[in-house]
């Protein structure tokens, strides 16, 4: 034993100092039975109960009576000691033989409570029971007391090592080996075998070989034991040393014949090494000798054959599985699992034929497994064939299966295939098929992603018609709302939101509330935005960072500035970070309210967090421009350039509008010059600003030049352009040209609005054309402007 490897592993709890591991007996008062078995006796007199009495009760499995009799003996033992380990061993033997772990543990604890010292047989019976049930906690408890009582039980040590090895607690198992070494025990064959198995299971073949040498030489055991060689073969296989396993197998021929386990271990070892030829040879030899392959062998062979594309071999292995009595469901599940791991599910339709295919059609679980595997691997046609041929009927599970398949296709981006599966579902039992709300909602979402909005809307209307008024839930409404948003039909989306408002039982979640806010913002429905906002406040919804950003961005025009400012401060106090868009919205709000101290504070906050962008500068420049704070406007432009941003078209437009309206024409021209030097192309809004400013100055020739330049750029005047031109012509006294512009607008498909007619009437009045002005005024009333 001295030649075993000494590992520096801490000894587990039961290997402690006996002096520190004392058991405190409890008072016997709690052991007094509530039932009196022999009522005529004086409890102070000794009661003589033979072992035969206890044994007779255990044979009848009358454990309650046996316990009461035991308690009588305990009470009698106060005056006359009668308790010995034989009585407890009789109870422990009977209950452990029947596998009653809790009851056996109870007898052992009563034994300890009564200060009865267990013997070797006690510990052996307990540990064998715990080994069968792999109960490591109770086993460690028993071992700790075996150590305390200085009892040496070889079988108990073997059981403890076996339990640890089976559970993969190899360090603890090796600590038990060290403990056995310290006890200077003379090991028996069982001890040596479990130690050998411990090292082999870890693939520690150097230690295993050393143990084998000790068994042969020092311990004097004859190792012509097939278990020893099979254990060594397993160990070499675990260590991926199949040459070593092969040498051990060949050594068997000279001493003893390999058995079934020998061949099984070789198959597993070569399978783990990925050597199909070797594994197949041992597999064929196993069958030739009349041995039966294990389920693990069958799985190994199918896995190797799948990797090697040996379809004929797989068919043969499947036949072997059937002959071995494997259930069809297990075979099909194994086959699907192996081919999924190998990435070759496309081979399954060629294998799942005949009796296997017939079983799939009648077995709901196997059908679901196979169909899901086909869909996950884009074999939708094969999946549809199985669904079309299936024989089992279960509408609820069928709907669940179809829903899973459709969702799988959706997640994989196979939207067309999802539509195909849905159509197949509707074809099967079309007369009996009722619309499944969850499936229909998923399909609405899929159709909307595909851009098939008519199909999506048709499904929604069909679902709405076939369902009760209150059957649609919040998720269904959310999907429909999103569908209309994707389709650009915000009016229909608002109609769905109105239906939600009529349903007090529906409480919108965060995602639906965000959709509502965005829809109302895009339609400029300020009242609705305010209504939703205050409802959210009333419901005390738990806001997150994204929700704060959404509410501020959407409700900026709907809320008073004080409320918006409070909400923004609350967001910061709760530790949430505004995004760039939120900062820009708040800058715009504060800028329009001329709260420039807050504008500067927000700007520095955004800059510190690295959230300043071009729009940030555009917003600030526009705010200063409208206030006619030209000094800060120019300074902001310089900051914009200093921070690495080019002056944007929007910033130029803001400066042009500000300087022009303040009649600072030199500065106005300077900005236009800067635009040309920086190659910043003008847009229609730029031209409208220039036309308006030149018109206000009465510079009609310059206005004509701007119009010519506008045409050269390929831009056409819009409604704002025409309204500005009419105003400019009025100032310049060109009334007839102003009236001609109305005709030109209609010719170009632009309908005049109230501003158009107001500018024309003012132009006529300015040039003393009062009669014409009255006519146009009457025309405005006639068309209800």
∠400-403-408 over CA atoms, to 5°? 125
Q: Please tell me the least confidently modeled range out of 206-210, 308-312, 725-729.
A: 725-729
pLDDT at residue 330 above 70?
A: yes
Task: Return the closest-CA partner of residue 264 out of 294, 240, 284.
Answer: 294
pLDDT at residue 24 above 50?
A: no
- pLDDT of res. 698: 82
User: b vs e for 447-469, b when ≥16 Cβ sit within 10 Å of the residue's Cβ?
Assistant: bbbeebbebbbebbeebeeeeee
Specify the DSSP element, H or E, that contains 581: helix 580-592
C-alpha separations of 4 from 174, 195, 523 in Å:
11, 10, 83
In a domain, 498, yes or no: yes
Residue 660 structure tokens:
């022009």
> Is the same domain home to 441 and 378?
no
Quick one: what percent of the chain has pLDDT higher than 90?
A: 53
CA 612 to chain centre: 35
Last residue in a domain, options 506, 541, 562: 506
Q: Please tell me the least confidently modeled range out of 7-21, 184-198, 517-531.
A: 7-21
- pLDDT of res. 472: 84
Work out the average pLDDT over 701-725. 84
**How many domains does the chain contain in total?**
2
In a domain, 494, yes or no: yes
d(CA 763, CA 758): 9
Residue 150 structure tokens:
């200085």
Rg, Å, the chain Cα set: 45
Give me the chain's average pLDDT, please: 85
Task: Give backbone dihedrals phi and psi of 344, rounded to 5 degrees, phi first.
Answer: -130, 45
> Is the same domain home to 425 and 493?
no
Task: Write down the residue that tokens 């639906």 correspond to.
Answer: 512
In a domain, 401, yes or no: yes
d(CA 775, CA 780): 9
Task: Return the closest-CA partner of residue 535 out of 501, 485, 490, 571.
Answer: 501
d(CA 688, CA 118): 105
517: helix, coil or strand? helix
> Is the same domain home to 423 and 369?
yes
pLDDT at residue 548 above 90?
A: yes
Cβ neighbours of 38 (radius 10 Å): 12
Indicate the length of the chain as a whole number: 785
User: b vs e for 390-413, b when ≥16 Cβ sit within 10 Å of the residue's Cβ?
Assistant: beeeeeeebbebbbebbbbbbeee
Residue 29 burial class via C-beta count within 10 angstroms: exposed 0-12, middle 13-18, buried 19 and up: exposed
Last residue in a domain, options 455, 471, 506: 506
564: helix, coil or strand? helix
Q: Please tell me the least confidently modeled range out of 76-90, 181-195, 321-335, 358-372.
A: 76-90
> Is the same domain home to 425 and 358?
yes
∠642-648-653 over CA atoms, to 5°? 125
Work out the average pLDDT over 603-625. 92
- pLDDT of res. 780: 78
> Is the same domain home to 359 and 407?
yes
Residue 338 structure tokens:
């192996």
pLDDT at residue 450 above 80?
A: yes
Give the residue numbers spanning the domain of 422. 345-433
In a domain, 443, yes or no: yes
Reported as a pLDDT band with limits 50, 70 and 90, residue 652 is very high
Identify which has the larger pLDDT, 334 or 77: 334
Using an 8 Å Cβ cutoff, are 175 and 163 in contact? Answer: no
d(CA 89, CA 83): 11
pLDDT at residue 714 above 90?
A: no
Reported as a pLDDT band with limits 50, 70 and 90, residue 144 is very high
Residue 715 makes CB contacts below 8 A (sequence gap 6+) with 683, 684, 687
Quick one: what percent of the chain has pLDDT higher than 70?
A: 90
Reported as a pLDDT band with limits 50, 70 and 90, residue 741 is confident
Taking only the tens place, the pLDDT of each residue in 258-276 is: 889 999 999 999 998 899 9
pLDDT at residue 16 above 50?
A: no
> Is the same domain home to 469 and 396?
no
Longest Cα–Cα distance of the chain, Å, equals 138
In a domain, 337, yes or no: no
Task: Write down the residue that tokens 């090592």 correspond to.
Answer: 161
Work out the average pLDDT over 751-777. 85
d(CA 622, CA 658): 8
490: helix, coil or strand? helix
pLDDT at residue 25 above 50?
A: no
Residue 471 structure tokens:
């059957």
- pLDDT of res. 740: 87
- 3-state SS of 601-635? HHHHHHHHCCCCCHHHHHHHHHHHHHHCCHHHHHH
- pLDDT of res. 30: 36
State the pTM of this model.
0.67
Cβ neighbours of 372 (radius 10 Å): 17
d(CA 442, CA 464): 15
Taking only the tens place, the pLDDT of each residue in 50-85 is: 567 888 888 888 888 888 888 887 777 654 556 788
| DSSP, res 80 | S
> Is the same domain home to 349 and 408?
yes
Rounded to a whole number of angstroms, the distance between the first and last alpha carbons of the chain is 110
- pLDDT of res. 31: 35
d(CA 698, CA 683): 23
| DSSP, res 555 | S
Identify which has the larger pLDDT, 433 or 400: 400
In a domain, 126, yes or no: no
In a domain, 475, yes or no: yes
- 3-state SS of 426-477? HHCCCCCCCCCHHHHHHHHHHHHHHCCHHHHHHHHHHHHHHCCCCCCCHHHH
pLDDT at residue 609 above 80?
A: yes
- pLDDT of res. 222: 60
Taking only the tens place, the pLDDT of each residue in 175-224 is: 999 888 887 677 888 898 999 999 999 989 999 989 888 887 765 666 67
Work out the average pLDDT over 560-584. 93
pLDDT at residue 591 above 50?
A: yes
Residue 8 structure tokens:
């520096």
Work out the average pLDDT over 95-112. 92
- pLDDT of res. 11: 33
- pLDDT of res. 433: 57
> Is the same domain home to 439 and 421?
no
pLDDT at residue 752 above 60?
A: yes
Taking only the tens place, the pLDDT of each residue in 471-505 is: 788 999 999 999 999 999 999 999 999 989 888 88
Work out the average pLDDT over 652-666. 91
Residue 472 makes CB contacts below 8 A (sequence gap 6+) with 437, 463, 464
Last residue in a domain, options 433, 468, 488: 433
In a domain, 447, yes or no: yes
Q: Please tell me the least confidently modeled range out of 250-264, 308-322, 372-386, 660-674.
A: 250-264
> Is the same domain home to 440 and 424?
no
> Is the same domain home to 427 and 349?
yes
- pLDDT of res. 4: 33
| DSSP, res 225 | -
CA neighbours closer than 13 Å in the CB half-sphere of residue 297: 25
Task: Return the closest-CA partner of residue 103 out of 55, 128, 67.
Answer: 67
Cβ neighbours of 420 (radius 10 Å): 17
> Is the same domain home to 395 and 379?
yes
> Is the same domain home to 376 and 451?
no
Residue 36 structure tokens:
């009196």
Taking only the tens place, the pLDDT of each residue in 670-706 is: 999 998 888 888 888 888 898 888 888 888 888 888 8
Residue 477 structure tokens:
């409404």
């Amino acid at each position: 034993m001295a030649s075993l490897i000494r590992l520096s592993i801490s000894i587990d709890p039961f290997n402690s100092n006996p002096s520190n591991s004392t058991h405190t007996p409890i008072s016997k008062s709690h052991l007094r039975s509530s039932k009196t078995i022999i009522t005529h006796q004086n409890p102070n007199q000794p009661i003589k109960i033979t072992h035969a009495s206890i044994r007779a009760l255990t044979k009848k499995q009358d454990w309650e009576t046996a316990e009461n009799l035991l308690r009588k003996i305990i009470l009698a033992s106060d005056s006359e000691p009668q308790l010995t380990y034989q009585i407890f061993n009789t109870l422990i033997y009977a209950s452990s033989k029947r596998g009653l772990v809790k009851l056996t543990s109870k007898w052992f604890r009563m034994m300890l409570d009564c200060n009865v010292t267990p013997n070797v047989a006690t510990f052996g019976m307990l540990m064998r029971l715990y080994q069968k049930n792999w109960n490591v906690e109770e086993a460690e408890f028993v071992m700790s007391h075996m150590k305390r009582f200085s009892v040496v039980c070889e079988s108990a040590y073997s059981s403890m090592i076996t339990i640890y090895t089976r559970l993969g607690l190899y360090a603890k198992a090796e600590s038990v080996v060290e403990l056995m070494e310290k006890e200077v025990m003379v090991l028996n064959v069982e001890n040596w075998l479990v130690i050998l198995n411990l090292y082999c299971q870890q693939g520690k073949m150097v230690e295993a070989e050393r143990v084998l040498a000790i068994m042969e030489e020092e311990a004097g055991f004859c190792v012509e034991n097939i278990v020893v060689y099979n254990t060594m073969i397993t160990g070499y296989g675990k260590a991926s040393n199949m040459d070593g396993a092969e040498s051990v197998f060949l050594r068997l021929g000279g001493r003893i014949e390999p058995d079934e386990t020998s061949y099984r271990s070789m198959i597993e070892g070569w399978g783990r090494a990925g050597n199909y030829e070797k594994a197949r040879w041992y597999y064929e030899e196993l069958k030739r000798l009349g041995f039966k392959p294990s389920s693990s062998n069958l799985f190994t062979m199918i896995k190797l054959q799948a990797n090697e594309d040996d379809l004929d071999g797989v068919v043969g292995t499947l036949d072997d599985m059937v002959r071995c009595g494997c259930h069809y469901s297990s075979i099909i599940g194994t086959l699907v699992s192996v081919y999924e791991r190998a990435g070759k599910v496309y081979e399954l339709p060629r294998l799942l034929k005949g009796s296997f295919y017939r079983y799939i059609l009648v077995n709901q679980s196997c059908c679901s497994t196979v169909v899901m595997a086909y869909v996950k691997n884009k074999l939708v046609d094969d999946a549809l064939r199985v669904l079309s041929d299936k024989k089992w009927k279960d509408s609820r599970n069928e709907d669940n299966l179809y829903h899973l398949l459709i969702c799988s296709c959706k997640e994989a981006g196979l939207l067309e295939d999802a539509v195909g599966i849905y159509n197949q579902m509707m074809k099967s039992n079309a007369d009996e098929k009722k619309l499944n709300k969850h499936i229909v909602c998923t399909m609405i979402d899929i159709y909307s992603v595909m851009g098939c909005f008519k199909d999506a809307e048709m499904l929604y209307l069909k679902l709405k018609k076939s369902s009760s008024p209150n059957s649609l839930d919040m998720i269904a409404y959310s999907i429909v709302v999103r569908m209309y948003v994707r389709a650009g039909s915000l009016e229909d989306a608002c109609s769905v939101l109105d239906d939600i408002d009529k349903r007090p039982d529906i409480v919108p979640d965060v995602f639906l509330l965000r959709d509502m806010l965005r829809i109302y913002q895009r339609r400029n429905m300020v009242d609705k935005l305010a209504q939703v906002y205050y409802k959210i406040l009333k419901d005390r919804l738990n806001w997150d960072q994204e929700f704060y950003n959404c509410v501020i961005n959407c409700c900026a025009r709907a809320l008073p500035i004080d409320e918006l400012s409070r909400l923004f401060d609350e967001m910061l106090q709760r530790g949430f970070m505004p995004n760039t868009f939120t900062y820009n919205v708040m800058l715009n709000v504060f800028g329009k309210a001329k709260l420039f101290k807050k504008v500067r504070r927000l700007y520095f906050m955004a800059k510190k967090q690295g959230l300043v962008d071009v729009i940030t500068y555009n917003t600030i420049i526009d705010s200063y421009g409208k206030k006619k704070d030209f000094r800060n406007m120019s300074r902001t432009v310089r900051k914009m350039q200093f921070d690495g941003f080019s002056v944007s078209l929007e910033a130029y437009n803001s400066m042009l509008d500000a300087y022009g309206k303040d009649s600072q024409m030199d500065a106005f021209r300077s900005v236009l010059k800067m635009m040309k030097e920086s190659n910043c192309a003008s847009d229609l809004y730029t031209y409208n600003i220039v036309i308006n400013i030149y018109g206000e100055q009465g510079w009609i020739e310059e206005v004509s030049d701007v119009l010519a330049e506008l045409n050269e750029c390929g831009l056409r005047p819009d409604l704002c352009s025409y309204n500005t031109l009419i105003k400019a012509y009025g100032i310049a006294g060109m009334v007839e040209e102003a009236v001609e512009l109305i005709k030109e607008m209609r010719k170009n498909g632009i309908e005049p609005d109230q501003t158009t007619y107001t500018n024309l009437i003012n132009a006529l009045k300015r040039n003393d054309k009062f009669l014409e002005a009255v006519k146009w005024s009457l025309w405005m009333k006639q068309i209800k402007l």
